[in-house]
Structure 1
Amino acid sequence: MFTRTESFRDFIRFYPVISFIIVIHILLYLLTALPIFPNQYLLERLAGVNLYVVNGEYWRLVTPIFMHAGFAHMLFNSFSLVLFGPALEQLLGRTKFILVYLGTGIAANVATLLLEPLTYTHVGSSGAIFGLFGFYISIILFRKAMLSRENSQTILTIAIIAVLMTFFQSNINVSAHLFGMLSGFLIGAAAYRR
């Protein structure tokens, strides 16, 4: 389930939403890394900055989901999405997967707005990725038969490690990680508790 054996072409065909999100990650990273725009113009316009959000720049609740602070950040989040996203894109279908991904990412950014200082600035898709973990956890709790025992253990182990690492690494948006996961769990619980 979490082992990728598809060819590059098959991956794009089977998981078009994830493929598109990763293309956006790469393009935005390249546009911010290359000296095309002066003074990191795109990063300044699309990063989550709480002060700007409360002053009406509401797109900053969405755009940080696709922006990253450097190559390693972009690569790690994109790799995580490649590993853990395909099963959910297949399970939910394209539209519902997009709604879960964006919904949890936006929830993570709203939590950041409410819990962090007005001067707080953030980028990264990890809130949405933690949302996918939360959604998986709701499946494990409410629809055990949908995942094998091995896959359930893998998800739980990685989710626990990810939460623990949130508190031991510097420059991590703790609010986004925790509330991304919580929102994913609540969305999944609403969908599968019946």
Structure 2
Amino acid sequence: MRTSPTIETLGVFAVVFALQQTLTLVDAGLSFALFVLSAPLDVRPWTVVTSVYAHTGWQHLLSNSIALALVGFALERRTTRWRFHTFFIVTGAIAGIFQVVFNRLLLQLGLVEHQALVLGASGAVFALFGYVIAGNRLTGGLLDRIGLDPRWQALLFGVAAVLVTLATAAPGIALVAHFVGVLLGFAAGRMNLLRPTDPEPDTPPMPEY
């Protein structure tokens, strides 16, 4: 029986959140050091990964879990387990790094007063949604039919990423992470990066979705 990477990821969410809550009661500073991504990045480099699976509270955990379930179960049938997890970690980490670096730039320019503290999987989840949007047969067929130049395609996806990001705008939301996540998903979807060349055992043939 094939293991579900979506369920595995949700399980990691739950374990990390339980650990966060426990450590917060014992030593809030330790919980911060283990899971919160912030500048400078080289001080606690492990948080580039651990922050992807950590959350600020129940509502944050629930919203990301629901969003992951909506896209994850559909997408995992079209890729391999290791590709799914690698894509999730890499896109989540890159999105978080961009959020921190962008905020650090704004801080240096005096446009914000505090550095970014990043927690959550939304960058990775947005990348999964971006992959589904850009990598499906309908989108590919439409772009091929229109015959858009690659530069215009990049502009189109950039505008779409901005619109998606603005639709999620709210106080405390890591909008740069969302934007970068969607862009990464769009790019990966157009290149079909999650499509396995050598499917795992029990992996059904890759359908054109």
> Aligned with 1:121: secondary structure?
coil
2:164 aligned with 1:166: no
Provide the residue aligned with 2:126 in structure 1.
Answer: 130
Provide the residue aligned with 2:36 in structure 1.
Answer: 47
> Aligned with 2:94: secondary structure?
helix
Structure 1, unaligned stretches of length 5 or more?
A: 1-12, 145-158
Provide the residue aligned with 2:117 in structure 1.
Answer: 121
Q: Which has the larger radius of gyration?
A: 2
Distance (whole Å) between structure 1 residues aligned to residue 141 and residue 52 of structure 2: 28
Distance (whole Å) between structure 2 residues aligned to residue 81 and residue 15 of structure 1: 16
- Check 1:114–1:160 CA distance in 2 against 1; reply closer, same or farther (3 A cut): closer
Alignment length (residue pairs)? 163
Distance (whole Å) between structure 1 residues aligned to residue 45 and residue 162 of structure 2: 32
Contact persistence 1:15–1:86 (CA under 8 A): no
Contact persistence 1:69–1:123 (CA under 8 A): yes
Contact persistence 1:104–1:181 (CA under 8 A): no
Distance (whole Å) between structure 2 residues aligned to residue 60 and residue 27 of structure 1: 16
Q: 1:44 deviation in Å?
A: 3.3
The two structures have a TM-score, normalised by structure 1, of 0.74
> Aligned with 1:50: secondary structure?
coil
> Aligned with 1:68: secondary structure?
coil
Contact persistence 1:15–1:89 (CA under 8 A): no
Provide the residue aligned with 2:73 in structure 1.
Answer: 86
Q: How large is the RMSD of aligned CA atoms in angstroms?
A: 2.4
2:114 aligned with 1:142: no
Distance (whole Å) between structure 1 residues aligned to residue 28 and residue 164 of structure 2: 33
Deviates more, 1:130-139 or 1:28-37: 28-37
The one-letter code sitting in structure 2 at the alignment partner of 1:86 is: F
The two structures have a TM-score, normalised by structure 2, of 0.69
- Check 1:28–1:187 CA distance in 2 against 1; reply closer, same or farther (3 A cut): same
- Seq. identity, %: 26
Distance (whole Å) between structure 1 residues aligned to residue 18 and residue 130 of structure 2: 30
Contact persistence 1:134–1:184 (CA under 8 A): yes
Q: 1:45 deviation in Å?
A: 2.1
Provide the residue aligned with 1:20 in structure 2.
Answer: 8
Provide the residue aligned with 1:32 in structure 2.
Answer: 20
Q: 1:162 deviation in Å?
A: 5.2
Provide the residue aligned with 2:151 in structure 1.
Answer: none
Q: Please list the CA deviations of residues 166-192 of structure 1 after superposition, one character each: whole Å capped at 9, or x if unmatched.
A: 22x110001100001101111122227
Provide the residue aligned with 1:10 in structure 2.
Answer: none
Query: Comparing both structures, which one devotes a greater share of its residues to helix?
Result: 1
